[in-house]
């Protein structure tokens, strides 16, 4: 079986490390030639939760130099949401009609990307609460255990046998549960509601997730979540407000030392996924002509911080 991981950020490196421990041919497609060369020379080192460092060797190829690659049977797409449109041509070219394609992005916007694929019916959204931090181009730290849900998208169907067998083989390596989710759209909105609070607030305050429980932010969390639940209902997804708030606090506790991916991006002078998280909620709200003042405020502040840090890191 041939597997590709497109994107070698924290999640991409984490899964590439895990996949390469199995008897499959794994290829990591990187955005830069520099990272490709480093992976070829050094492999991938993954520091697990218990401190153990596992080193594996994997194949690598720069995204802009893939002309000689044969099609893959399973593709993990781990680029940022806003980068999806730049890799869909690659996915089309290096997949076949039975390839299992898994999207690992935060936020919403998968439909548009999937719509660009032709004769590729087996597409899935994968959602995870696991934490990871990319230490270097070849080193990743697993920072938090969690759960992973995978569901067919945009059509709700059952997993294909190829994916079922693959996940069954992969599960002992991962330890954390990987579950089939038959209502993945609702699960996407549930995760979006959590990310729409934790990611921007930790980014603006520049604090790890757990710190949100120790400052006076409960009222702010409530207001943001009320807006999210209102918008979700308008698009046909029922979110329970009190349950969502409870989940946000639970994630803060379980990942108390984690630095959110959005904060990591800002600190690295990179573009964030604010447009596919809070920005997605704003776009749906505008379609239904309802105000979402708190999401607009968070979006404005994160974008300003993003631009400020980008200028500073380029000096």
Instruction: Name the average pLDDT for the chain.
Output: 93
Mean pLDDT across 51-77: 93
Report the C-alpha gap between 243 and 194 in whole angstroms.
Answer: 11
* Model confidence pTM above 0.85: yes
Q: Are strands 123-128 and 148-152 parallel, antiparallel or unpaired?
A: antiparallel
Q: Look at residues 199, 89, 203, 78 and name the one whose alpha carbon lies nearest to residue 148.
A: 78
How does residue 78 score in pLDDT terms, banded at 50, 70 and 90?
very high
Report the C-alpha gap between 231 and 284 in whole angstroms.
Answer: 7
How does residue 313 score in pLDDT terms, banded at 50, 70 and 90?
low
- Which sequence spans correspond to the domains of the chain? 2-181, 185-314
CATH code for the part of the protein at 2-181? 3.40.50.720
pLDDT digits (tens, 9 = 90+) for 270-306: 899 999 999 999 999 999 999 999 999 999 999 999 8
How does residue 314 score in pLDDT terms, banded at 50, 70 and 90?
low
- Whether 150 and 167 have beta carbons less than 8 Å apart is answered as yes
pLDDT digits (tens, 9 = 90+) for 160-207: 999 999 999 999 988 889 999 999 999 999 999 999 999 999 999 999
Residues paired with residue 5 on neighbouring β-strands, in sequence order:
28, 76
- Whether 151 and 125 have beta carbons less than 8 Å apart is answered as yes
Element (H, E) at 77: strand 74-77
- Whether 28 and 8 have beta carbons less than 8 Å apart is answered as yes
> What is the SS3 string spanning 6-28?
ECCCHHHHHHHHHHCCCCCEEEE
What letter does residue 119 receive in the DSSP assignment? S
pLDDT digits (tens, 9 = 90+) for 6-37: 999 999 999 999 999 999 999 999 999 999 99
Report the C-alpha gap between 16 and 10 in whole angstroms.
Answer: 10
What fold, for 185-314? 1.10.1040
- Whether 101 and 163 have beta carbons less than 8 Å apart is answered as no
Report the C-alpha gap between 17 and 219 in whole angstroms.
Answer: 40
């Amino acid at each position: 079986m041939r597997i590709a991981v497109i994107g070698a950020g924290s999640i991409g490196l984490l899964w590439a490390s895990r996949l390469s421990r199995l008897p499959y041919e794994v290829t990591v497609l990187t955005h830069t030639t520099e990272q490709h060369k480093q992976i070829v020379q050094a492999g991938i080192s993954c520091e697990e939760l218990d401190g153990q460092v596992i080193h594996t060797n994997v194949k690598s190829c720069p995204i802009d130099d893939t002309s000689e690659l044969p099609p893959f049977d399973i593709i993990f797409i781990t680029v940022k949401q806003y980068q999806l449109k730049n890799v869909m041509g690659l996915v089309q070219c290096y997949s076949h009609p039975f390839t299992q394609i898994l999207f690992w992005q935060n936020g919403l916007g998968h439909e548009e990307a999937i719509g660009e694929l032709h004769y590729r019916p087996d597409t899935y959204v994968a959602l995870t609460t696991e934490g990871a931090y990319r230490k270097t181009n070849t080193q990743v730290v697993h920072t938090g255990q969690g759960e992973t849900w995978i569901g067919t998208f945009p059509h709700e169907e059952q997993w294909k046998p190829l994916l079922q067998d693959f996940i069954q083989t992969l599960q002992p390596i991962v330890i954390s549960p990987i579950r089939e989710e038959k209502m993945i759209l609702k699960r996407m909105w549930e995760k979006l509601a959590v990310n729409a609070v934790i990611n921007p607030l930790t980014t603006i305050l520049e604090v790890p997730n757990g710190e949100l429980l120790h400052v006076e932010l409960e009222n702010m969390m409530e207001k943001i979540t009320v807006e999210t639940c209102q918008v979700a209902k308008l698009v046909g997804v029922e979110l329970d407000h009190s349950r969502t708030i409870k989940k946000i606090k639970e994630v803060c506790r379980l990942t108390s030392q984690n630095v959110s991916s959005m904060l990591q991006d800002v600190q690295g002078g990179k573009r964030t996924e604010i447009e596919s998280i809070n920005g997605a909620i704003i776009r749906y709200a505008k379609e239904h002509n309802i105000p979402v003042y708190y999401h607009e405020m968070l979006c404005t502040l994160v974008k300003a911080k993003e631009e400020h840090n980008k200028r500073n890191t380029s000096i």
